[in-house]
Amino acid sequence: MVVRSPADHGDDLFQALADATRRDILAVVLGAERSVSELACRYPMSFAAVQKHVAVLERAGLVVKRRHGREQRVRGRPEALREVHDLIDQLEMLWRARIDRIDEILSEGDPP
């Protein structure tokens, strides 16, 4: 059994968003629910490749799939984008604090 930590979720989010095709799929399904078949028609790749992209987005929690008859329907989760925003904010605060500390250290060496 693989145990996943909360940090893994951040990894999944950023991995999902790292690919231009997945970002485009996300933008499309945030606008309106689409079937995987409809999505596959938009890209110069196989249906299976589009399914894999959707699976990565789903694992990251950026989209949800539901069965509608024989179709798999995909819709975006706007609330998941808030999670991405929050993670980026946390990273920004961390790095700003580190930069401020470097500035303090450097200014301590300045003559009065």
Evaluate whether residue 98 is within a structural domain.
yes
pTM of the model: 0.78
At residue 7, the pLDDT reads 61
CATH number at residue 66: 1.10.10.10
Domain span at residue 20 reads 6-108
The C-alpha atoms of residue 34 and residue 20 are separated, in whole angstroms, by 18
Walk along the chain (112 residues) and give the pLDDT tens digit of each residue: 555 555 677 889 999 999 999 999 999 999 999 999 999 999 999 999 999 999 999 999 999 999 999 999 999 999 998 988 898 998 899 999 999 899 888 888 666 5
Evaluate whether residue 38 is within a structural domain.
yes
Residue in this structure with the two tokens 């920004």, named with its chain if needed: 92
Evaluate whether residue 1 is within a structural domain.
no
